[in-house]
């Protein structure tokens, strides 16, 4: 039987209405299935003492009264249940329309507040993303090459942008039915986001996806910084847009990087500890994936798009 919903008066009326409608249909059925112990032979009744005989007669009168009015009672319950159901449903539909309109306005607001990063801004962001450690790694590798410091830095940035674009293309190719996909955008003219997945349906939460790249090893400081950044973006997003969001970190590492499975396990433990200790419900849903650069095309986008 439908569980009564108390959270909203309209859902409550619909739930009560359904219960009364079902009850009006089941009442005659159960009545006809029960004999109430009245199918006794007259000889058996005569054998009882006067008090028992009187009780049987009273019970017979009550059952007769119920039987005479059962149809009217069932119809009354049916009409009452239908009334509750219709009133609750109509009001629920009206309220749902207002809710849908509000969400449409919020969605439109979100889109108006999203600005596409210019190529110059993308490059500037990539330059900021490249850490001192990663830059120094490239410097060491390029010592034997007659390259200027500027050329080395350009190599780092170009490689970072190429990896990021390759990963974005994986999302584009997936063509999710449940999300709008935005890449390299700035929300509320404030925070740059690598990939923003806006849910098309209320049953899904939006996703803020941050992409990081490691050339030789995954720095704990870079990992911690990325998680803190995601935490800041997620808190702002939830408060500003009044929408649930799931933070996602995609950490891509080079095929030549010195990364062992044991290292990744330690990093995953570090991430779980952060999520467990976080007071934010949003950060408890944090998802982090470590992806080998050659495996980017194989990355299962569906794994981060579940409800």
Cα dihedral angle (277, 282, 283, 288), rounded to 10 degrees?
140
Give the pLDDT confidence of 246-278 residue by residue, as tens digits: 999 999 988 888 888 888 898 888 888 888 888
**Are the C-beta atoms of residues 299 and 163 closer than 8 Å to each other?**
no
199 vs 38, which has greater pLDDT?
199
What was the pLDDT predicted at 144?
47
31 vs 258, which has greater pLDDT?
258
Give the pLDDT confidence of 174-218 residue by residue, as tens digits: 888 889 888 888 887 788 889 999 888 878 899 999 998 887 778
* The pLDDT of residue 168 is above 60: yes
Q: What average pLDDT score do residues 211-240 get?
A: 86
- Outline which parts of the chain fall under CATH 3.40.1350.10: 117-304
Q: What average pLDDT score do residues 26-37 get?
A: 65
Considering 107-116, 124-133, 209-218, the range whose residues carry the highest mean pLDDT is: 209-218
What was the pLDDT predicted at 120?
74
pLDDT category, 121, cuts 50, 70, 90?
confident
Domain 117-304 has CATH 3.20.10.10: no
- State the chain's mean pLDDT as an integer: 78
């Amino acid at each position: 039987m439908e569980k009564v919903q108390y959270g909203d008066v309209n859902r409550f009326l619909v739930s009560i209405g359904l219960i009364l409608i079902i009850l009006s249909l089941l009442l005659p059925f159960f009545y006809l299935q029960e004999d109430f112990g009245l199918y006794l032979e007259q000889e058996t009744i005569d054998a009882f003492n006067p008090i028992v005989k009187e009780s049987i007669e009273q019970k017979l009168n009550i059952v007769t009264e119920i039987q005479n009015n059962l149809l009217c009672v069932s119809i009354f319950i049916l009409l009452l249940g239908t009334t509750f159901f219709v009133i609750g449903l109509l009001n629920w539909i009206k309220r749902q329309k207002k809710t849908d309109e509000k969400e449409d306005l919020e969605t439109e607001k979100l889109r108006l507040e999203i600005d596409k990063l210019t190529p110059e801004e993308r490059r500037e962001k990539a330059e900021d993303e490249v850490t001192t450690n990663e830059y120094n790694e490239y410097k060491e590798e390029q010592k034997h090459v007659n390259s200027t410091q500027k050329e080395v830095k350009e190599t780092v940035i170009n490689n970072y942008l190429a990896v990021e674009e390759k990963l974005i293309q994986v999302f584009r190719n997936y063509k999710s039915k449940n999300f709008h996909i935005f890449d390299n955008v700035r929300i509320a003219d404030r925070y740059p986001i690598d990939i923003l997945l806006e849910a098309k349906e209320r049953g899904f939460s939006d996703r803020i996806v941050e992409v990081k790249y490691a050339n030789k090893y995954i720095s704990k400081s870079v990992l911690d910084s990325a998680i803190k950044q995601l935490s800041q973006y997620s808190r702002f997003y939830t408060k500003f847009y009044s929408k649930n969001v799931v933070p996602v970190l995609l950490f891509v590492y080079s095929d030549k990087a010195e990364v062992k499975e044991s290292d990744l396990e330690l990093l995953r433990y570090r991430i779980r500890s952060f999520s467990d200790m976080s007071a934010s419900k949003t950060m408890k849903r944090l998802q982090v994936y470590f992806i080998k650069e050659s495996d980017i095309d194989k990355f299962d986008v569906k794994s981060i798009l579940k409800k």
